[in-house]
Chain A
Amino acid sequence: MKSRPGFVLEVDKSTPPILVWHGEGFKLQKMPTDSRVLYPKEPIAPLEDPDGAITHALDNPIGDSKPLRDLLFPSMKLTIAFDDVSLPLPAMEAPDNRQRVIEAVLNLAAEKHVEDVVLIAALALHRRMTDAELKHCLGERIYNSFAPHGLLMQHDAEDPTNLTYLGKTDKGEDVEINKRAADSDLIVYVNINLVAMDGGHKSVATGLSSYKSIRHHHNVATMQHSRSFMDQSKSELHSSNWRIGRFLAKEGIKIFQIETTLNTNTFPKQFSFLQKREWEWTLKDRIGFSSVSKALEFAPDNIKTSIFNSIKAPHKLTSVQAGEVEAVHKVTTDHVYHQQLVQVEGQSDILSLGLPYISPYNVNSIMNPILVACLGLGYFFNLYKGKPLVKKGGVVIMSHPTPLAFHPVHHPSYIDFFDQVLSETTDPLEIQANYEQKFAEDPWYRHLYRTSNAYHGVHPFYMWYWCAHALDYVGKVIIVGGNYKAVKRLGFLSASTFNDALEMAHDTVGSHPSITHFHVPPLAIAEVN
């Protein structure tokens, strides 16, 4: 596969309409002349022998670490932690990276006769995974060997008997992690690094930790000082996680980090037109686009949701590295940047985004209005290095139907957050001060988080904090084609078409604004000069 680099297209009269995501559907949109469209780099070639690469990585660790083989001994307590269902997006075709890596780790452990091995899904405050999701991510063989014996666990951040408090960092951050992990002779963490925010010390310091600890970096102040959290060197979120990670190392918690990266080959063949540049669409692509979008137009909501949830992405492994956390993560980040970084010259007045049907928090679920806000202002807005794509006080135009719908099992606290909190205020600081604790300590949310498949009570707050930097920075947010009530509650403006949205932006950015459209898929990070 030959991969062409990403670039910024200057739209002229002969530019065809641009494909724009619109939730569970997409549309073609003619961009105004002189606007810019950011095209990501095409998927890079995957590793030819992924299993071989994994074995090689385990035997040749990076940084101050012995090969995994030498860290294992029969009487040890070994804990293998792995990223949860929020990664990668969409879920990848089997075998998942986690399955490949963990099988390799287990083969070594079996060879060394390690008797006490436990697998933990590093949920942090996310919802518990279903059996089917665990099976998909680990494979039948691992699932069958661990789940029936109760050795496949999901981290429970609300189980006081299962947490170990280790102390405070020099900045006063509480450090509390999963007891089994803390008691282990070795934690092997298996990660999938989809965007530059993932991985590193964040894996254990957040994934296996509790609300008490997470609140120190998942808050408004931290998020407003992360410019952006996709760029670790300028991310307060990461500084805090790194402090906690180093504290863990000092406390003698041994972590063997295995990180993997994927290429951006996001959609299967029948959706191949999504990843192509519009002027290269063949007859087949055009037929594919029009038949798929027509079908989606007429399909009922729940059928659309299940169609999209059934998509498995043909992502492929592009790198795997193992060893000491920081050294490993540096290499991993380089690989992510290698795939995703696109150079952009200067900021613009308006940033236009087409938001897809999926975000990290609605896998096999429903994208509710709060997640729409988070995906646009939390994730896409922050996919920059250096400066944001949009000027300070500029306008973000997002395209998404923003339906007034919630998944009652996965997002119970979101419903109340939307109903009781956003109806009063949308100011992140006020929300944090007046409501967060009540939701975080609500016994019902705790119960659902621990026993059902619900996100933690405080999770919708984090989604809103994720937007804090953008809310602080941007002058106006307009959602195209969104449910009026939902958009209004979020505190944004709603427009029926892109042109209306431009019209509405005029009083903020003048009548001849510069426009940049972020073309997805695949993913990219804009390095703005």
Chain B
Amino acid sequence: MKAIQLQKSYAKFAGAVLANKLKGHGSSASALPLRLTELSEFKLPNEDWTYIYPIMSGICGSDIKTIQAKSSRSLEHLVSFPFIPGHETVAVREDNGKRVVVESVLSCKSLGMDLCQFCGEESFDKCQCQEFSPSIAPGLQIGFTKDIPGGWSEYSMAHQDQLYEVPEDMSDEDAVMIEPMACAIHGVLKIRQEFLAGFSDSPLITVIGAGTLGLCTTAALKFIFKDTVRILTIAKYPYQRQLAKAVSADFLSGTDNIVNTVRHLTNSLITGPSLTYGADIVIDCIGSKESIQGAINITKPGGQIILTGMPSKSNLDLSLLWQRQLTVTGAYTYSFETSNFLKSDKAKTFNIAIEASKSFKLGKLVSAKYDLDDYEAAIEHAIDAGKRDSTKIVFVNDKTDLMKKLQRRNQ
């Protein structure tokens, strides 16, 4: 089978880092430790798993960071090389031919181990046991372990409980946005009521970043809070501003006027790098040093910062975090949600995401589709997505090909 594989080649990683340093963003994909290969078939880990044929699989910001060797080494023990990336996947099930999306996060349950305390509570997102599976090499999610191919491939696999059927009337593009949307919803539902109760009748929630995650978060905020909050989205590029507006951001700001905009919206005064009031909640969807520092500066005293974008090692000035008594909450993947902002007591994040993606038609965020053969162009495009007026870049497999393969198998 054809797949894009990420190898652990120190020379190539070094090359990636160097290229990064020299050129900043926009480094050439050929210098990256990726290759398109033909691989023999993977075995299913156990009988609860099934093969799936990816129709569409997105390139995530965390993929890019891993490829460019920008992600933190603290996560290295949860990754096993060489692996086939791709955790935002729409696929067809081999066993019943239905269209599904994959909840990629791996846990005791999907790995077929005795359930840890978190998995017992169905908080699969909090499970830390991926390193200890007897059958599968360590992997944070599908698409990070060498034993399970991710979505950038001709076929992949998943535990039955990880598969969610896509409604008939939903396009593939809308469906591929379900996984990032689930991340966004999970982040948004980390908001705690007490932080919203503030000075103003209509709390201000600031979303830093207007890439896939930022836009999904903006949409998720609207989906969950309707018009009870004001949403300010910080977008770097004009194209992103338009999209943010389309997913119903109430206010927009460029990156170099953030403090001023938040100041204006919250009737604050500027004091040092910070404000006398500030946004009630700030959701950072970038994870860079600048974005987190910015978040600290613009959050109201006693407010909450949610880190949805994958952060890394960075040198931050935390004196204001301390002095303004902020709460920082991390938000990783998805599982079950028990927030009091929901109607039901407990809901699967993916089910909320499917509804949300449908209602916002998030498929419009898919800006370009590439065949696996064009992977270099695809990765380059994804690295420069913002600059090139694009958001989500996806890999696609030929559907007719796929159907043929499916039929052949079933026969």
Contact = CB atoms under 8 A, between A and B. Distances in A.
A and B touch in the complex (CB under 8 A): yes
B260 A415 contact: yes
Contact of B268 (A420, A438, A443): A443
B261 A416 contact: yes
Given A419-B253, A419-B254, A447 B269 contact: yes
Interface string A425-449: 0000000000000100011100100
Given A442-B264, A444-B263, A444-B264, A419 B257 contact: yes
Contacts of A438: 264
Interface string A374-417: 00000000000000000000000000000000000000100110
Nearest to A424: B252
A415 B267 contact: no
B270 interface: yes
Contact of A444 (B251, B252, B254, B269): B269
A119 B264 CA distance: 34
Contacts of B267: 442-443
Contacts of A415: 257, 260
A438 B263 CA distance: 12
Most buried by B among A415, A438, A444: A444
Nearest to B256: A419
A191 to B, nearest CB: 35
B253 A444 contact: no
Contacts of B263: 444
A517 to B, nearest CB: 35
Interface in B260-306: 260-261, 263-264, 267-270
Interface string B228-270: 0000000000000000000000011110010011011001111
A419 B269 contact: no
Contact of B269 (A420, A423, A443): A443
A442 B251 CA distance: 17
B311 to A, nearest CB: 28
A419 B268 contact: no
A360 B138 CA distance: 69
Contacts of B261: 416, 419-420
B268 A444 contact: yes
Interface residues of A, number: 11
A412 B257 CA distance: 11
B264 A416 contact: yes
A416 B267 CA distance: 13
A516 to B, nearest CB: 37
Contacts of B254: 419
Interface string B194-234: 00000000000000000000000000000000000000000
A423 B235 CA distance: 14
Classify the interface of chain B: helix, strand, loop or mixed: mixed
Contacts of A444: 263-264, 268-270
Contacts of B253: 419-420
B254 to A, nearest CB: 7
Contacts of A419: 253-254, 257, 260-261
Interface string B339-357: 0000000000000000000
Contacts of A416: 257, 260-261, 264
Contacts of A423: 252
Contacts of A442: 264, 267
A447 B270 CA distance: 10
A444 B277 CA distance: 12
Nearest to A418: B257
A423 B257 CA distance: 14
Nearest to B277: A443
A443 B269 CA distance: 7
A419 B251 CA distance: 11
A6 B263 CA distance: 51
A423 B254 CA distance: 11
B297 to A, nearest CB: 15
B271 to A, nearest CB: 10
Nearest to A413: B264
Nearest to B267: A443
A415 B257 CA distance: 9
Most buried by A among B253, B261, B264, B270: B264
Nearest to B269: A444
B18 to A, nearest CB: 35
A442 B269 CA distance: 9
Contacts of B269: 443-444, 447
A299 B263 CA distance: 36
A233 B398 CA distance: 76
A443 B266 CA distance: 10
A451 to B, nearest CB: 11
A424 to B, nearest CB: 9
Interface string B310-354: 000000000000000000000000000000000000000000000
B240 to A, nearest CB: 13
Contacts of A447: 269
Nearest to A438: B264
Contacts of B257: 415-416, 419
A439 to B, nearest CB: 8
Nearest to B254: A419
B411 to A, nearest CB: 59
Interface in B161-201: none
A294 B285 CA distance: 49
A416 B251 CA distance: 13
Nearest to A412: B260
A223 to B, nearest CB: 25
A443 B270 CA distance: 10
A444 B263 CA distance: 8
A444 B265 CA distance: 11
6 contacts: A416-B264, A419-B254, A419-B257, A423-B252, A444-B264, A444-B269
Given A419-B253, A444-B268, 9 more contacts: A415-B257, A415-B260, A420-B251, A420-B261, A420-B264, A442-B264, A443-B267, A443-B268, A447-B269
- Which A-B residue pairs are the 3 nearest by beta carbons? A444-B269, A419-B257, A416-B264
